[in-house]
Amino acid sequence: MDFVIPPPAPSSLPVTGTTARFPVRRIWCVGRNYAEHARELGHDPEREPPFFFSKPADALLADGKSLPYPPQTGDLHFEAELVVALGTGGKDISHEAALDHVWGYAAGNDFTRRDLQAVAKKLGRPWDLAKGFDFSAACGALSPVAASGHLAQGRIALSVDGVQRQEGDLSEMIWSVAEIIAALSASVELKPGDLIYTGTPAGVGAVERGQTVRVDILGLGSLVTPVI
């Protein structure tokens, strides 16, 4: 096939313990999926169904790679998250069958320009520029389900320069991985290569230039991101 311009390089993630790569199609994110985080943002977690936003696939930032402090913000926030990688897709996936579509898991960080997000919320505008900027989707190496099993509980934590800033347990998610997949597939057809960032525990906050952010999830290892 002839293209009028060179096609962009496909986005992908490393797979733990191998030289193979996992191709990434889309990145979906779940908002306010931990009760305490919802409360710290002024929302009632008992009243909200799951809602979703997205980041472009080329916003991926691999483990150990530096994040250039993004423009147009003075309030860059970290958000530690469990990332789900889909090996198969579908529409209207049932809760019971949802985990069969999971290929693997990784530690992620949903970097956010919080001040831009606050303005967008106030004006009723989309969050795209607050959430989907360059290198905003940090993600560690993927661990296949065959190696890690399905993760329904376990410590998730984030530190900045060695000081712990977030800590929770995956069991505290309001909507489980299976429920998230089922709900999202009711709105869009999910496909192999899709990633889902599953929400963050309480304690989100700002990170400055020169600091290093580390996400740890039990069973998955760490994701380290220097901010430059």
* Secondary structure string (H, E, C) spanning 159-202: EECCEEEEEEEHHHECCCHHHHHHHHHCCCCECCCCEEECCCCC
Q: Give the whole-angstrom CA distance, residue 185 versus residue 180.
A: 8
Pairing of strands 76-78, 205-206: antiparallel
pLDDT digits (tens, 9 = 90+) for 7-33: 999 999 999 999 999 999 999 999 889
Domain spans in the chain, listed from the N-terminal domain onward: 12-226
User: Where residue 48 falls among pLDDT bands split at 50, 70, 90?
Assistant: confident
Average pLDDT, rounded, for the chain: 94
Residues 143-196: tens digit of each pLDDT: 999 888 899 999 999 999 999 999 999 999 999 999 999 999 999 999 999 999
> Can you tell me the distance from the alpha carbon of 83 to that of 195, in angstroms, rounded to the nearest whole number?
7
Architecture of domain 12-226: Alpha-Beta Complex (3.90)
- For residue 143, give the nearest of 172, 92, 168, 106 by alpha carbon: 106
Does the pLDDT at position 37 exceed 60?
no
Tokens standing for residue 60: 């991926």
pLDDT at 34 exceeding the cut of 90: no
Report pTM. Answer: 0.94
What is the mean pLDDT of the segment spanning 198-215? 96
pLDDT band at 35 (very low <50, low <70, confident <90, very high): confident
Give residue for tokens 């065959």: 146
Q: How many CA atoms lie within 13 A of 16 on its CB side?
A: 20
Q: What is the average per-residue pLDDT within 191-209? A: 97
CA neighbours within 13 Å on the CB side: how many for 209?
7
- Which of 66-70, 173-177, 224-228 is predicted with the least confidence, judged by mean pLDDT? 173-177
Tokens of 152: 């329904």
More confident residue, 148 or 120: 120
Tell me the sheet residues that pair with 203: none
Average pLDDT over residues 86-103: 97
CA distance 27 to 125: 20
Q: Which residues contact 180 (CB under 8 A, 6 or more apart)?
A: 30, 33, 50, 84, 196, 198
pLDDT of residue 38: 57
